Structure 1
Amino acid sequence: MRRFLFVFSVLVSTAFHAQAKPDLIPYPQSVTMQEGKFVIPETLILNDQLPKEETEYFKKRIGSQVKFQTSRSTAKVNVMHMLVPSPKMPIHPEEDREKYTLYISPKRIFITSYTKQGYFLALQTLIQLFEEYKESREIPAMEINDQPKFAWRGMHLDVCRHFFNVEEVKQYIDYLAMYKLNTFHWHLTDDQGWRIEIKKYPKLTEIGSKRKESMIGAYVDNTFDGKPYGPYFYTQEQIKEVVKYAQQRHITIVPEIEMPGHALAALSAYPELACTKGPFEAATKWGVFDDVFCPKEETFTFLENVLDEVIALFPSEYIHIGGDECPKTRWKECAHCQELIKKNNLKDEHGLQSYFIQRIEKYINKKGRKIIGWDEILEGGLAPNAAVMSWTGVNGGIEAAKSGHFAVMTPGSYCYFDHYQGDPQSEPNAFGGFTPLDKVYSYNPVPEELNAEQAKYILGVQANLWTEYIPDFKQVQYMIFPRIMALSEVAWGTADSKNYKDFENRVVHQFAALDKMKINYAKSIYNISAKVIPGNNGIAYELSTSQNPAGIKYTVDGTDPTSQSQTYQQPIPVLKSMTIKSAYFENNQLKSAISFQTFTVSKTTGKTITLEQQPSENYSFGGAFTLVDGIVGNPRQLGKTWLGFQGKDVVAVIDLGQKTNFREVYFNTLENKGSWIHMAKSAQVFISDDNRNFTMIKEIGKDEIQNAQGKIRLNVGTQNSKYIKLKIENAGIIPAGNPGADSQAWLFVDEIGAL
């Protein structure tokens, strides 16, 4: 093993004080500023022993700024040899393969690393420095000692719901390289399309790579474009091309072949692999579907043959086999499945899922590879050597690590980039949730529940981009930038929420490079950030911006703000129903989108509220206070105004502060069965004066809730009490014939009011 030394030789530049630290992302583990500056010359002289592929990449990235020469002559470049053994330091390839040192003196630049991978990472740092100081052409002298905290630093891309061509996938890989991510999780098969050529099974792409139409708009619209989609897939030659491209950037591609669920596209081509006869077609809706692979011998033969071709194409250590969201409806009704459960002494259909995954794992292990799957592969018992990708929260990763299995943390509440990143009212349609830049940046991939030994099983962190609502590559760019920067610093191990403003400033400085690359990044960081807080006798609306707060202008009468509107100075009291609009102005020019929020004030608004059970982490923004913040949720946007509870009832107690008269209690809920969201079974209203003894004053059933279409208004007669308790009963287990059958239903609730 060798240590690379990368040296530039240029004229000397002097200075007499240390410089400000650079705007690097991810920020290195150690940056020591030195005196002096390195002046970027017209021609950089590179030693010809430098690693060729990595150096050519560097030259292409900064080639517009300088010219290049190569030389072996130490006399000409006034340096030592570039490639030398490193006998003085012990070499630990696994721990140190991504370690590097970058030393910039007023005369030259040195890079040392154990591997080409470390050298490449150092180049990414150097490219950012060249971009940052391109105007002055003077890079401050500094020494950077750096290496990542986590071995798995990943980004995922779903190409099944919407397809992206080879050149677009290559661009995506370039984005990972720019921010030192090293794993590309390529989601290649799903209900809506099969995207990889398998020569033994040509119908997978002849039939499974297309669908008759696509869902458009919000899910509640239930509308379709009526346009055939596909055939879209990657040939094996294209796959090889992309794999090589990624390898040149030291990025591992982990392919995902979904099983046993999310299989409709495959079943449309080979219906004999299902529990029922079909026929099937690739899904046109988004969501989860009952028809899955049947665990019979011909299915395992099919999957093993598919995996043979996949393994031949991808040299990655791990093969992702999905394992998520597999309804058990068909297995419960299938005589073969029930016989298999008895024959193998399995407890139930969840045990059958474990049987399925373990068979696949044994096969992949024989091929010298390992499996990784979504955390549902924990159902019925985890396969012996499997790694877990924890997405439903952090519990899957915790369970895996405590049992000695590796885990990649990718919880939806922090790492799903298909969620809204700004105010949903001013953002393009997205899947739901609310995951702004600062929330991504705040994530710690190592759960507090793990001790030091267990924490070693956390491989790293990954963000996922599901593309139901991302029809083109411009929207891909919009959804990952700038959140990929926050992810990169979290994965590198240098994120610090206490210094978020510093990170935010570095993000803004990165935008110049994105502009140069014509990347369509989200500018939500410039928009007004707003939150509702408790105020005197109700609530207040708190506004902030990444820019000068004196530039925030607002109105309370529903008109658009101008540069002459009222300047924001402190949280705005909301004592009655109103619409507040706000925007950021600079030099009297509008610089942000106009944000607006309508408030519906009732007798519960801003009051103290407690919940017996907490919402799911993915849909918990604002916590219980969201239910009394005066904001009525938009059923088309499952963003920050809704709380979501999976398999749990909502039991909320509101303290009105004093005995208060009211005649009506209201709340809002949703139904979106394709996403497993069901109307409540029932709702009850109780009152109390001591928060201990409650009397029920109103009860309604499922039919009444359904007829109200989620906008529940309950006439409770004339009441006078200090406490209101509302119990909303979850639908429970989703019944057969519905998407997600046999799984726990979601209950979404917003704004509990009293009039």
Structure 2
Amino acid sequence: MSLSAVIPAVIPAPVSLASDASAPAFRLSASTVIAGDADAATALARILETRTGIAPAHADADVAGAIALRRAPGGPAESYRVTVEAASILLTAPDAAGLFYGAQTLGQLLQRDGTGWSIPAVSIEDAPRFAYRGVMLDVARHFFPVETVKAYIDRAAALKFNALHLHLADDQGWRVQLESRPRLTEVASGSSVGGDPGGFYTKADYGEIVAYAASQHMIVVPEIDVPGHTHAVGLAYPELVEAPVLSEHIREIVREYGGDLPTTGVPYEGMAVGFSSLRIHDEATYDFLADVFGELAGMTPGPYLHVGGDEALGTSAEDFAEFMGRVTSLVADLDKTPIAWHEAGSAEGLDEETIGQYWGFLTPTDGMDEKARTFARNGSQLILSPADAIYLDMKPSPSSALGLTWANGPTSLERAYTWDPVAIIDGIGERDILGVEAPMWTETLRTLADIDAMAFPRIAAAAEAAWSVPLGTAPMRTWPSFRERAGALAPVWRSMGVTLPASDDVSWSAG
């Protein structure tokens, strides 16, 4: 008997799930009513209609045979409880997010039942392991329109992610309109990797993304990566940047991936990193950053601003330390919590509230772990994004036409799943970890179909690392269980418009 015949297909794995195969299921029909919380009812109705074509009506009060959605005290933030019986379904949660996540679980439980649809008899208690559960989308290397970003939000929210990190600026282009610095989009937004068209989000576009994310219980974390990754800034404001530092490392990347060497004042369309830098000792640089982060803070209701700080190979160690101290303090003074990539941990004077984002390997190299430990020593926390596990742009197999392999790649689904956040960095325990984030860099990606091909099913593995109990501590939290549950969810993902890639690890259900 397969696992899927015993364990309903839910990802991420709940804290507890009891099912009774002998008990009758709840049958969905045109007369089904969703009662209770209006926002959660709207979310659940959308899920059910997308999956089945049935659009349940909403009632403010409970009615017989209804799917009841209720706020109930008790339990941690974002938690929920579900009881499914033949006659009714009861979903309770202490907050709106918990009801939303319970609705996502009900959508995953939905299955074909002859010519109709049903939800099996189950009892679920669930809560997230980590407070921060993110996905990152790089819109700088290739630009993606608002509708694509919203589609990615849908995919992530369905897996209980609650943060969208947008990488809004890099050497190849600047992607968000700012009234304080209009030349950034007038001059520096038109290019992408490989000579593809660029683009940018107007302030209205950005507001639409933020509002849509909020409707799916996700915050937006905007990133302006400094002091490196700033060649595009120099197109608009050349007085703020240094000349490109053309190391042998840069030349090797150009030889491997093609394109031209970066040239001052010329849009950069290649894939090299680490050659650019802002001018660290010029006060005009900090005036610029005050404008950029100040305006972005006003456009972003979430608590975080990401300042980058990675791969600043064109900046000396001393200058980097001075710069990161100033920029993280600047963001903190805006009443936002700064986030920086783990390299910033080498900088003395870093604002003590700064959250570190670790992009190093499952087995740290080159002092990555020591830099990451700085954030915990400062009394702050880490976001774990091990590149050789959950960088979703790494090739999933050697034959993949998309993706890169620099992070010990290709990265199989099994490797993406079989790691645990507390096992990466010595001395970093559960309390030191704010959460988990799965980045998607887009040097080789141009469309939503490309994004889906790289994200699925590894994004589901990242979701389980972020939400579920530690690996191996529950029957569902194992590799064999996960691969079967992932395969069984194929109909759910297809109903969302995802074209699932061929996989050596997963047999996709046709149901």
Give TM class, smaller chain: 0.7 to 0.9
User: In the alignment, residue 517 of structure 1 is paired with which amino acid?
Assistant: M
**1:41-80 pair list within 5 angstroms:** 41-47=29-35, 49-50=36-37, 52-63=38-49, 64-72=52-60, 76-77=63-64
| Match of residue 290 from structure 1 | 275
Match of 1:430 among 360, 382, 403: 403
**1:689-708 pair list within 5 angstroms:** none
| Match of residue 184 from structure 2 | 204
Answer with 25-34 or 187-196: which moved more: 25-34
> CA distance change for structure 1 residues 132 and 321 in 2, over 3 Å: closer, same or farther?
farther
CA contact 1:323–1:374 (8 Å) conserved in 2: yes
| Match of residue 711 from structure 1 | none
| Match of residue 652 from structure 1 | none
C-alpha distance in structure 1 between counterparts of 2:424 and 2:142, whole Å: 37
Tell me the secondary structure at the aligned position of residue 136 of structure 2. strand
User: In the alignment, residue 480 of structure 1 is paired with which amino acid?
Assistant: A
Match of 2:495 among 493, 516, 524: 516
User: Identity percentage over the alignment?
Assistant: 29
Tell me the secondary structure at the aligned position of residue 207 of structure 2. helix
Name structure 1 gaps, 5 residues minimum.
1-18, 216-226, 332-348, 527-545, 549-755
| Match of residue 222 from structure 2 | 255
Residue 129 in structure 1 maps to residue 98 in structure 2: no
CA contact 2:305–2:339 (8 Å) conserved in 1: yes
| Match of residue 457 from structure 1 | 432
User: In the alignment, residue 351 of structure 2 is paired with which amino acid?
Assistant: A
The Cα of 1:262 is off from its aligned counterpart by: 0.3
User: In the alignment, residue 501 of structure 1 is paired with which amino acid?
Assistant: P
| Match of residue 312 from structure 2 | 326
User: In the alignment, residue 144 of structure 2 is paired with which amino acid?
Assistant: F
User: In the alignment, residue 446 of structure 2 is paired with which amino acid?
Assistant: P
The Cα of 1:168 is off from its aligned counterpart by: 0.3
| Match of residue 238 from structure 2 | 271
The superposition leaves residues 3-47 of structure 1 with CA deviations (integer Å, 9 ceiling, x where unpaired) of xxxxxxxxxxxxxxxx83211111111011243322223321222
The superposition leaves residues 121-160 of structure 1 with CA deviations (integer Å, 9 ceiling, x where unpaired) of 0000011112466855332211100011011111111111
CA contact 1:192–1:282 (8 Å) conserved in 2: yes
C-alpha distance in structure 1 between counterparts of 2:394 and 2:61, whole Å: 54
Tell me the secondary structure at the aligned position of residue 78 of structure 2. coil
Residue 236 in structure 1 maps to residue 203 in structure 2: yes
| Match of residue 125 from structure 2 | 145
> CA distance change for structure 1 residues 297 and 496 in 2, over 3 Å: closer, same or farther?
same
User: In the alignment, residue 434 of structure 1 is paired with which amino acid?
Assistant: P
Larger strand fraction of residues? 1
| Match of residue 671 from structure 1 | none
Highest relative contact order (Cα 8 Å, sep 6+), 1 or 2? 2
| Match of residue 618 from structure 1 | none
C-alpha distance in structure 1 between counterparts of 2:69 and 2:160, whole Å: 24
C-alpha distance in structure 1 between counterparts of 2:424 and 2:148, whole Å: 38
The Cα of 1:284 is off from its aligned counterpart by: 1.3
CA contact 2:358–2:383 (8 Å) conserved in 1: yes
> CA distance change for structure 1 residues 199 and 409 in 2, over 3 Å: closer, same or farther?
same
> CA distance change for structure 1 residues 252 and 547 in 2, over 3 Å: closer, same or farther?
closer
C-alpha distance in structure 1 between counterparts of 2:387 and 2:471, whole Å: 20
The superposition leaves residues 564-602 of structure 1 with CA deviations (integer Å, 9 ceiling, x where unpaired) of xxxxxxxxxxxxxxxxxxxxxxxxxxxxxxxxxxxxxxx
C-alpha distance in structure 1 between counterparts of 2:330 and 2:233, whole Å: 20
Tell me the secondary structure at the aligned position of residue 25 of structure 2. strand
| Match of residue 280 from structure 1 | 265
C-alpha distance in structure 1 between counterparts of 2:19 and 2:196, whole Å: 58
CA contact 1:479–1:521 (8 Å) conserved in 2: no
> CA distance change for structure 1 residues 197 and 415 in 2, over 3 Å: closer, same or farther?
same
C-alpha distance in structure 2 between counterparts of 1:110 and 1:67, whole Å: 18
Answer with 165-174 or 52-61: which moved more: 52-61
The Cα of 1:246 is off from its aligned counterpart by: 0.3
Match of 1:446 among 403, 407, 422: 422
**1:723-742 pair list within 5 angstroms:** none
Tell me the secondary structure at the aligned position of residue 375 of structure 2. helix
| Match of residue 111 from structure 1 | 91
The Cα of 1:547 is off from its aligned counterpart by: 6.2
**1:618-637 pair list within 5 angstroms:** none
> CA distance change for structure 1 residues 397 and 493 in 2, over 3 Å: closer, same or farther?
farther
Residue 36 in structure 1 maps to residue 51 in structure 2: no
| Match of residue 390 from structure 2 | 415
After the TM superposition, which segments of 4 or more aligned residues of structure 1 sit over 6 Å from their partners? Answer: 78-82
CA contact 1:195–1:234 (8 Å) conserved in 2: yes
TM-score (norm 1): 0.59
Match of 1:154 among 109, 134, 139: 134
Tell me the secondary structure at the aligned position of residue 518 of structure 1. coil
Specify the structure having the higher radius of gyration (Cα): 1
C-alpha distance in structure 2 between counterparts of 1:300 and 1:110, whole Å: 54
The Cα of 1:70 is off from its aligned counterpart by: 3.0
The Cα of 1:57 is off from its aligned counterpart by: 2.2
Tell me the secondary structure at the aligned position of residue 36 of structure 1. coil
CA contact 1:461–1:491 (8 Å) conserved in 2: yes
C-alpha distance in structure 1 between counterparts of 2:481 and 2:129, whole Å: 20
Tell me the secondary structure at the aligned position of residue 124 of structure 2. strand
C-alpha distance in structure 2 between counterparts of 1:123 and 1:81, whole Å: 11
C-alpha distance in structure 2 between counterparts of 1:372 and 1:133, whole Å: 47
**1:561-600 pair list within 5 angstroms:** none
Name structure 2 gaps, 5 residues minimum.
245-262
| Match of residue 383 from structure 1 | 351
The Cα of 1:373 is off from its aligned counterpart by: 0.7
User: In the alignment, residue 77 of structure 2 is paired with which amino acid?
Assistant: R
Residue 354 in structure 1 maps to residue 321 in structure 2: yes
Count of residue pairs brought into register by the alignment:
467
CA contact 2:373–2:427 (8 Å) conserved in 1: no
| Match of residue 445 from structure 2 | 470
Residue 246 in structure 1 maps to residue 218 in structure 2: no
C-alpha distance in structure 1 between counterparts of 2:470 and 2:500, whole Å: 21
The superposition leaves residues 65-106 of structure 1 with CA deviations (integer Å, 9 ceiling, x where unpaired) of 4342333465x53789965664xx4x7xxxx11111011122
